[in-house]
Amino acid sequence: MSTGSVRRTSIRLADGRELIYFDDREPYLSGTAIRTEADIRELPPMETRSEIRLDVLTGEYVAIAAHRMNRTYLPPANENPLAPTVPGRPPTEIPASDYDVVVFENRFPTFSGGQGRCEVVCFTSDPDASFATLDPGRARTIIEAWADRTAELSTLPGTRQVVPFENRGEEIGVTLSHPHGQIYAYPFLPARTQALVRQARAHRSATGNSLLADVLATEREQSVRMVLSGEHWSAYVPMAARWPLEVHLAPHRDVADLAELTDSERGELAHVYLDLLRRIDRFFPGVDRTPYIAAWHQAPVGEYRELGRLHLQLFSLMRAPGRMKFLAGSESGMGAWINDTTPEQIAHRLRDVAEN
């Protein structure tokens, strides 16, 4: 299937997992060539033993996934499981000798047994790249992949929320250095979403308005924490930022998820997101690649959908070059956050490091 500037091709890996190519280059884009590579590995069936338990003390859900304890951890370059499959090296998760963007079911998923789904998103075949070093065309392809998977995963029975995210940097526990992200189709509402729903419901009852839309409008009006603004998107540091580096990116229009974005909104997002990521990499003097977590918060599927609104939360655990913010007693033990800087200072720095 071809959608605009991207061609989508789905295959099955040796153990039955789905893999989807999102091609933005010839000869695959036009269909001149067709993806015919087969997974030649002899893979044993996946053995996943995850279950979801409710913490009755907090009302939060916890996924118990013991099989993930032995997942691949920082393999050498010649054993990179996200690299293309090339002669002279062991076959990888991706049978093709080159690719643009690939999505496949995680072999070590957090959820299993028909409860949710976990997918890996490979941003590029280049193991030395990062999202920030990609061009806008490739960023747009990734956005198309996120939108495609959001739409499809939202139709799976039991899905309550779909969240694409990226973890970057060994400092925050990344187990594969190849540029990639993940997409979770949660079979429950995560704790942060539960809290947002409570706040949004109270705000709508009191004002009749959308909480997230009003937050964006207030930040744009006050401007002190604004980082950038385009025709369709704005980025700002939240007033109660928890992390030493945190920024939110939101569309100006009320949009539930990435699948609802228009062509023009997706096009601008490719440029704005790259701009934001490159500012993140320039935030700390002497740090080439800032470790970060980027999560797309999308509206719940089904109940409470009208209370959600698409937005990105991008943050780093780094508080200074070579120093990380560890969640100790107050944050981890009590959930009471302490930030050692101010949101206004964060925003000022992100504005200062914009490309001229």
* Residues known to be catalytic: 180
Question: Tokens representing 356?
Answer: 């001229």
SS3 of residue 247 by DSSP? strand
Q: How far is the C-alpha of 241 from the C-alpha of 350, rounded, in Å?
A: 14
Q: How far is the C-alpha of 196 from the C-alpha of 206, rounded, in Å?
A: 15
Q: How far is the C-alpha of 315 from the C-alpha of 247, rounded, in Å?
A: 6
What is the per-residue burial (b if ≥16 Cβ within 10 Å, else e) of 337-346? Answer: eeeeeebeeb
Give 194: exposed, middle or buried? Use CB within 10 Å, 0-12, 13-18, 19+.
Answer: middle
Q: How far is the C-alpha of 62 from the C-alpha of 138, rounded, in Å?
A: 35
Question: Tokens representing 65?
Answer: 């996934």
Q: How far is the C-alpha of 126 from the C-alpha of 33, rounded, in Å?
A: 22
Q: Which residues pair with 282 in a beta bridge?
A: none
Q: How far is the C-alpha of 214 from the C-alpha of 193, rounded, in Å?
A: 17
CB neighbour list of residue 69: distance below 8 Å, 6 or more residues apart: none
